[in-house]
Structure 1
Amino acid sequence: MAQILAPSAQWQMRMTKNLTEATPMASKMWGSVVMKPNKRVAVKSTAKFRVFALQSGNSTVNRIEQLLNLDVTPYTNKIIAEYIWIGGSGIDTRSKSRTISKPVQHPSELPKWNYDGSSTGQAPGEDSEVILYPQAIFKDPFRGGNNILVICDTYTPAGEPIPTNKRHRAAQIFSDPKVVSEVPWYGIEQEYTLLQQNVKWPLGWPVGGYPGPQGPYYCGAGADKSFGRDISDAHYKACLYAGINISGTNGEVMPGQWEFQVGPSVGIEAGDHIWCARYILERITEQAGVVLSLDPKPIEGDWNGAGCHTNYSTKSMRDEGGFEVIKKAILNLSLRHKEHISAYGEGNERRLTGKHETASINTFSWGVANRGCSIRVGRDTEKNGKGYLEDRRPASNMDPYVVTALLAETTLLWEPTLEAEALAAQKVTLKV
């Protein structure tokens, strides 16, 4: 179960004066998306309601907002659980709500549920029932109170994991005694791109045109360099509230592109936390009227792609003499390069070109402090003789259950033949 981190104070953005209470995510968003403040303007939209529409104090939108912000805790023990699962594409998050009779502390206290798999591309119409198994719970930053978000995986009525259920296999790997004893840590850097809703063009870019070339945008500040900071900050706080082990955020190299980091997380927890963080980000961008893209190369040309760099270490890597263990792990990874690439995200060949801080998809390499390699080792790891490695190959749309489990399997459970190991030792490219 995720740790529950209550915020020190509820945070607000341009709330109407007559609202005295609000859930953490209720606000008038967003500086980079909405109109100028203090103007009574209704936003035209296909959505029924825009929370950020600026209206008079007694408007319909304001009354709906008051209902959304109701704290029902004094009146009932019942809570709302938002069951979340991964859809048929393997990257889309789906969810639906149900009432639970009382607050819960562990997913085992929650009932299994079901959904229509024929509507998500996960089951045929004549046998469409898919069963949801609750696996991890987080506090709900949208509803507040004792309400929760529930990460689930998916099974047939007979109890067999369906093909898109990658968590099941990951849980098997992470429960292996060899893996458990090594306490695998992960730090995952999730890059993403914000797109304008109607034109599907990056946020802050002129419609049909391009901003100035890359250079000033990475970790930049200013109206001409940073587009979508309020969404990134809202997501940061919402994740902390939820109990997600988010460790940082930053603006990325391409304008309109951002990154958040989750970890260090142990084993299966890494995948649970990334998937819940992605779901929260989808909900925030939904409220802001912005489209979230996890495409690994959203804009062709001289622009950085979007990855999901995965930092990884085991107990042996973190102990004295760990650098030699890291080198052995890199050797194993070189021998299974094709298997990893095939599991590291759709469209990754458009990103891994050898340019824009990537290695070629066809060549395995590693180096110290070299971001043009498949595997990067930090200067501190080299200096201290122990630490971690960074796998820079995963795409932004990778499945974290697949990537984390595959890293553990290749470095802890898989053993190459002596001949293959000797040959790889001669061929693996070290870039300095």
Structure 2
Amino acid sequence: MPFKAEYIWVDGTRPTAKLRSKTKIVEDGAELPIWGFDGSSTNQAPGDKSDCVLRPVFSCPDPIRGGNSVLVMCEVELITGAPHPTNTRRACAEAAEKFADQEAIFGIEQEYTFFKDGRPYGFPVGGGFPAPQGGYYCGVGADEVFGRDVVEKHMDLCLQAGLHLSGINAEVMPGQWEFQIGPVAAPQVADELWVARWLLYRIAEDFDVSAMLDPKPVKGDWNGAGAHTNFSTNAMRDNYDAIITACDALGKDGKVAEHIAGYGAGIEHRLTGMHETAPWSEYSYGVSDRGASVRIPWQVERDGKGYIEDRRPNANCDPYVVTRLLINTCCSALANA
């Protein structure tokens, strides 16, 4: 019996790309074929040369449609077979392959904010603000938590899809939540994050709310939304010196600006030095320091091995870009240490 395959891809919208998808009916037993789409409608091609190609790179069960249906993450290619200029996955995969011997793995903490009727979910109807942040983080109760029904459904769907979901929690601002994907190697961790984002957007439709990745959804004394990225290599998982080497490498001349440029649009509005962030224009690292660019967890220092948390990536970052940058910068330094 034929099955439904939801082909998902990252478009060319700037400064922050969007997800697109469409359904293909595939004959039972057939491999997922390459497909195409109108790139002139996704900011990826002019109208007179509009054809773009979808190449399947990751698939998992579709927990919404069920049965034999699948979700299919795709790379975008030109009709020549070359990666499309908006295809950031290919470079990520190449970096991961180049340093495959270092066995880099990632865990990405995806923060997001629910919006309903033009305001963050949980903000008063008609304007104004709720009580100041403080009690909402990992809170419980209808006066502090908003959107749990959507979050619980999303968590179930991710698990049914076989994604490496490792947890969820309510965040510091009302209507703000987080889920974590990992530990997984690149580019798969980014594939899974994009699919998890798609599932979040899709299931939120059924609850008549929108999930937004705006890095600073509310101006003023409210936390922004990030995608803190936990990273380690085999050397870092074995000794503390390698962790310091990686942290130092991220602060080298040129690297700070390169990473900030690749960590999501509007990053200067979130990385202000307030609300558990370091200033976007400065670099620092420290043990148990959520005001640093890169945090070394306390247990890592105690154990003398482990991982680091790059706290700079925005909620709206491209995880293919973030993981590529971390691999290239840290693994190059470790290879030369």
Q: How does 1:54-133 map to 2 (within 5 A)?
A: 77-89=1-13, 90-103=16-29, 109-133=31-55
More strand by share: 2
Which residue of 2 is the match for residue 202 of structure 1? 120
1:192 to 112, 129, 132: 112
Aligned equivalents of 1:94 and 1:416: distance in 2? 38
Q: How does 1:315-326 map to 2 (within 5 A)?
A: 315-319=234-238, 322-326=239-243
Aligned equivalents of 1:369 and 1:415: distance in 2? 23
Q: How does 1:12-411 map to 2 (within 5 A)?
A: 77-89=1-13, 90-103=16-29, 109-176=31-98, 179-196=99-116, 198=117, 200-207=118-125, 208-319=127-238, 322-335=239-252, 336-411=255-330
Extract structure 1 runs of 4+ deviating beyond 4 A: 414-417
Q: Provide the TM-score with structure 1 as the length reference.
A: 0.75
Aligned equivalents of 1:232 and 1:415: distance in 2? 38
Q: Report how many residues are paired.
A: 332
RMSD: 1.4
Deviations 1:159-209 (A, max 9, x none): 121121100111111111xx111111101000000001x3x2100111311
Q: What's the CA shift for 1:91?
A: 2.7
Q: Please give the secondary structure, in 1, of the residue aligned with 2:133.
A: coil
Deviations 1:317-352 (A, max 9, x none): 111xx2100101111100111100000000010000
Asked whether the 8 Å contact 1:217–1:226 carries over to 2, the reply is: yes
Amino acid aligned to 2:109: E
Amino acid aligned to 2:22: K
Residue identity (%): 49
Greater RCO (CA < 8 Å, at least 6 residues apart): 2
Q: Which has the higher mean CA deviation after the structures are superposed, 203-212 or 364-373? A: 203-212
Q: What's the CA shift for 1:387?
A: 0.3
Aligned equivalents of 1:380 and 1:399: distance in 2? 29
Q: Which has the higher mean CA deviation after the structures are superposed, 158-167 or 129-138? A: 158-167
Q: What's the CA shift for 1:120?
A: 0.5
